[in-house]
């Protein structure tokens, strides 16, 4: 009786252990299948030409598979959106964690969560039908679907990520630090800027990196509002074609297991590696630079 | 702990003011006076800035939602919700899309919910801190960061081609399930963590095994919290477009799906195609607004449900 109970316990334990590895297994499977379908393109073009070639004409004859313009588009859209989302997200987090009263906080946190839940296709739709014409008229530009519009929409997709993670980090800074600072005669603002934020900085950085990782991988928004021209942008009002948008737009028409198909999978590989690196940095930071207090990131 | 913290926070300005008043009395009044005024002013300006940053977020959400409600309201009729599209997609309704999104969401949840909850049980109840746990956590956090279009590519390469499921409801649901797994694990873990340790200890002290404790004590008290995780996972799966673009969704099918190997229509994909690739983008504008509104209602409604439910649970726990 006791033996069978112990056996059952062991069985349950190993069962749960196996299932807990599902996430790792899926991640591995994603890696394997991306590489399996993406690697064959490198029989045709070298890795260097693929990454740094500046012409992306996958359907021309002969085709050009250089994804440099797509990478530049992804990076510039992400950086520009970060210029908007980092200040807004972090300032909102500071407000919610340090300044707002409990009532405002209770009301505002769900709003941030709802903002995170807005489906990306709806944000993209909004950018197309509302923001694009406004941009076109205010700045007097030929197309409203461009780098700037995409960055704007992406910023509002990454703000919730940045805001809620940095809010957690700021909120979990121990109160003793604040009290000590105030006791020394610092104002509330000085306490926030010189004590609380430095104490929470690793959490805030993690938040920023995860937010940017979300922005660079976001698909529907860039597919719908970035304009779709696979060229090097020369101004922020130029249409661009970031990597996710390119994959989503062209996969349907790429012949199965043709070069175009392989090239799109290889683009997916590059995108996957980008976000993986972002996430590993974020993970490393939140573990290595454990913040003061009992933050759980 | 929460409320006491807030009280101390509210005391700060008062304490500050008192200190400052004392300082002014004791030492050179003029110099300190101007210094304090400057510091006060600076604080006021920056706090206002922080407050307006928070305000902008709320305003954006309101503007997007109200704009869509304002424009989409007139499109939503009984026919719109219960009929299939007619006349080359320019008239009729979105019933097949609603059905498709519902089936995809439920399918994804059927796969991801048991796996997610079981993973959370292992992490929170069985695992000891160490390398193994670290690897599992790394896997989950990286899975959460995989771009949705990469999930689409994975679904295409693995489910559609390698496992020969074809573009189908099943392939889409599995892809969406893989994507919503981290959300479900995260919320389930939080729910399990909230179960007081005394419950576990009491059960073990009565001679129950670890599994009996989990099944009869921990899970029942964590269940409502776990369910909110399920709702959030469902809303994430319902709103995503890129993972189903190559795995499940088609622009139009003449009939509702009869088996799991049929292609489906879905709300997010419908919006995307109507807004970008249709031949009559302007003519179908009201249909696009209507579809977007239905999707928003669905996704935000599910989220609101989860948020309210969780808030109630937290109050009860206290």
**List of chain B residues whose C-beta atoms are within 8 Å of the C-beta of residue A110:** 304, 307
Chain A residue with Cα closest to B128: A17
Q: Are residues B142 and B122 in the same domain?
A: yes
**List of chain A residues whose C-beta atoms are within 8 Å of the C-beta of residue B38:** none
| B50 vs A91, A110, A265: nearest CB | A91
Cβ contacts below 8 Å, chain A against chain B, sum to 281
Is the pLDDT assigned to residue B3 strictly greater than 80? no
Stretch (H or E) spanning A76: helix A68-94
Per-residue pLDDT reduced to its tens digit, B178-227: 999 999 999 999 899 989 999 999 999 999 999 999 999 999 999 888 98
**List of chain A residues whose C-beta atoms are within 8 Å of the C-beta of residue B239:** 117-122
Q: Are residues B137 and B286 in the same domain?
A: yes
Contact A34 B303 (CB under 8 A): no
Chain B residue with Cα closest to A36: B157
Per-residue pLDDT reduced to its tens digit, A241-256: 999 999 998 988 888 8
Angstrom distance (rounded) from CA B4 to CA B258:
57
Angstrom distance (rounded) from CA A28 to CA A213:
19
Q: Are residues B55 and B113 in the same domain?
A: no
Q: Which range of residues forms the domain containing residue B242?
A: 78-317
Kindly list the distances between the CA atom of residue B26 and the CA atoms of A114, A180, A186, B33, B36, in Å, as whole numbers in the listed order: 51, 22, 18, 12, 14
Give the per-residue pLDDT at B114: 95
Q: Are B49 and A87 a contacting pair, CB within 8 Å? A: no
* Residue where a domain stops, chosen among B75, B99, B123: B75
pTM of the model: 0.86
Q: Are A126 and B68 a contacting pair, CB within 8 Å? A: yes
* Residue where a domain stops, chosen among B75, B94, B117: B75
Q: Of A250, A143, A238, give the one whose Cα is nearest residue B277.
A: A250
Give the per-residue pLDDT at B31: 58
Q: Are residues B37 and B139 in the same domain?
A: no
| A119 vs B138, B185, B295: nearest CB | B295
| ipTM confidence | 0.89
Angstrom distance (rounded) from CA A194 to CA A201:
11
Which CATH number applies to A44-288: 1.10.630.10, 1.10.3720.10, 3.40.50.150, 3.40.190.10? Answer: 1.10.3720.10
Q: Are residues B242 and B272 in the same domain?
A: yes
pLDDT: is B111 or B61 the higher one? B111
**List of chain B residues whose C-beta atoms are within 8 Å of the C-beta of residue A34:** 150, 153-154, 157
**List of chain B residues whose C-beta atoms are within 8 Å of the C-beta of residue A114:** 61, 300, 303-304, 307
Give the per-residue pLDDT at B75: 83
| A121 vs B60, B158, B241: nearest CB | B241
Q: What is the CATH number of the domain that holds B217?
A: 1.10.3720.10
> Band of the pLDDT at B12, cuts 50, 70, 90?
low
Q: Are residues B156 and B292 in the same domain?
A: yes
Contact B39 A178 (CB under 8 A): no
Please identify which residue in the block is written with the tokens 């957690």: A168
Average pLDDT of the segment spanning A162-184:
91
Contact B67 A126 (CB under 8 A): yes
Give the per-residue pLDDT at B1: 38
Give the per-residue pLDDT at B9: 47
**List of chain B residues whose C-beta atoms are within 8 Å of the C-beta of residue A170:** none
**List of chain A residues whose C-beta atoms are within 8 Å of the C-beta of residue B5:** 175
* Residue where a domain stops, chosen among B53, B75, B97: B75
Is the pLDDT assigned to residue B157 strictly greater than 60? yes
Strand partners, A64: A57
Contact B123 A120 (CB under 8 A): no
Angstrom distance (rounded) from CA B53 to CA B275:
31
Q: Are residues B301 and B283 in the same domain?
A: yes
Q: Are residues B118 and B209 in the same domain?
A: yes
Q: For testing the chain B interface, which of A22, A190, A272, A296 should be mutated: the one with the most B CBs within 10 Å?
A: A22
Q: Of B190, B206, B207, give the one whose Cα is nearest residue B121.
A: B190
Average pLDDT of the segment spanning A24-31:
95
Q: Are residues B51 and B176 in the same domain?
A: no
What rounded mean pLDDT belongs to chain B? Answer: 85
Chain A residue with Cα closest to B3: A102
Report the domain count for chain B: 2
Residue spans per domain, chain A: 2-39, 44-288
């Amino acid at each position: 009786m006791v033996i069978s109970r112990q056996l059952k316990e062991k069985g349950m334990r190993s069962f749960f252990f196996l299932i807990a590895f599902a996430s790792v297994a899926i991640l591995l499977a994603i890696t394997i299948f991306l590489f399996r379908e993406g690697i064959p393109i490198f029989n045709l073009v070298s890795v260097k030409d693929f990454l740094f070639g500046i012409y992306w004409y996958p359907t021309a004859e002969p085709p050009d598979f250089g994804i440099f313009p797509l990478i530049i588009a992804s990076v510039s859209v992400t950086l520009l959106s970060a210029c908007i989302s980092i200040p807004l997200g972090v300032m909102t987090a500071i407000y919610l964690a340090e300044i707002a009263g409990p009532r405002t906080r209770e009301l505002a946190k769900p709003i941030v969560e709802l903002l995170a839940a807005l489906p990306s296709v709806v944000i993209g739709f909004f950018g197309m039908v509302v923001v694009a014409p406004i941009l076109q008229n205010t700045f007097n530009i030929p197309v409203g679907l461009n780098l700037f519009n995409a960055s704007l929409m992406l910023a509002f997709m990454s703000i919730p990520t940045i805001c809620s993670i940095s809010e957690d980090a700021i909120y979990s800074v121990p109160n003793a630090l604040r009290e000590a600072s105030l006791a020394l005669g610092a104002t509330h603002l000085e306490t926030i800027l010189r004590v609380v934020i430095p104490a929470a900085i690793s959490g805030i950085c993690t938040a920023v990196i995860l937010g940017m990782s979300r922005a660079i991988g976001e698909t529907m928004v860039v597919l719908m509002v970035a304009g779709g021209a696979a060229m090097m942008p020369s101004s922020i009002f130029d249409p661009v074609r970031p990597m996710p948008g390119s994959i989503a737009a062209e996969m349907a028409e790429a012949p199965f297991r043709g070069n175009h198909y392989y090239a799109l999978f290889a683009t997916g590989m590059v995108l996957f590696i980008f976000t993986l690196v972002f996430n590993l940095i974020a993970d490393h930071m939140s573990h290595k630079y454990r913040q003061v207090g009992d933050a759980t990131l | 702990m929460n409320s006491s913290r807030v009280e101390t926070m509210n005391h700060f300005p008062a304490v500050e003011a008192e200190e400052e008043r004392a300082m002014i009395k004791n030492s050179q009044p003029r110099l300190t006076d101007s210094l304090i005024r400057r510091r006060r002013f600076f604080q006021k300006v920056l706090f206002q800035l922080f407050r307006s940053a928070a305000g902008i977020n709320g305003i954006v959400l309101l503007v997007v939602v109200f704009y869509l409600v304002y424009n989409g309201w007139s499109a939503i009729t009984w026919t719109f919700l219960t009929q299939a599209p007619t006349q080359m997609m320019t008239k009729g309704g979105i019933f097949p899309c609603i059905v498709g999104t519902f089936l995809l969401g439920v399918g994804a949840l059927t796969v991801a919910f048991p796996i997610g909850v079981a993973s959370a049980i292992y992490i929170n109840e069985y695992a000891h801190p160490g390398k193994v746990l670290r690897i599992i956590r790394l896997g989950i956090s990286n899975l959460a960061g995989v771009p949705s279009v990469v999930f689409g590519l994975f679904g295409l390469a693995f489910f559609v081609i390698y496992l020969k499921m074809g573009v189908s409801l099943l392939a889409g649901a599995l892809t969406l399930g893989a994507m919503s797994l981290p959300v479900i694990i995260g919320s389930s873990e939080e729910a399990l963590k909230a179960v007081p340790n005394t419950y576990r200890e009491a059960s073990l002290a009565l001679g129950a095994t670890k599994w009996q404790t989990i099944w009869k004590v921990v899970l029942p008290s964590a269940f409502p919290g776990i369910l909110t995780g399920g709702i959030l996972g469902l809303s994430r799966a319902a709103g995503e477009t890129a993972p189903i673009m190559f795995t499940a969704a088609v622009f139009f099918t003449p009939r509702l799906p009869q088996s799991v190997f049929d292609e489906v229509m879905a709300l997010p994909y419908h919006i995307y195609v109507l807004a970008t690739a249709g031949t009559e983008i302007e003519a179908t504008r009201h249909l696009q607004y209507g579809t977007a509104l239905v999707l928003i209602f669905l996704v935000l409604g599910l989220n609101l449900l989860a948020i309210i439910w969780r808030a109630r649970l937290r109050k009860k726990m206290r």
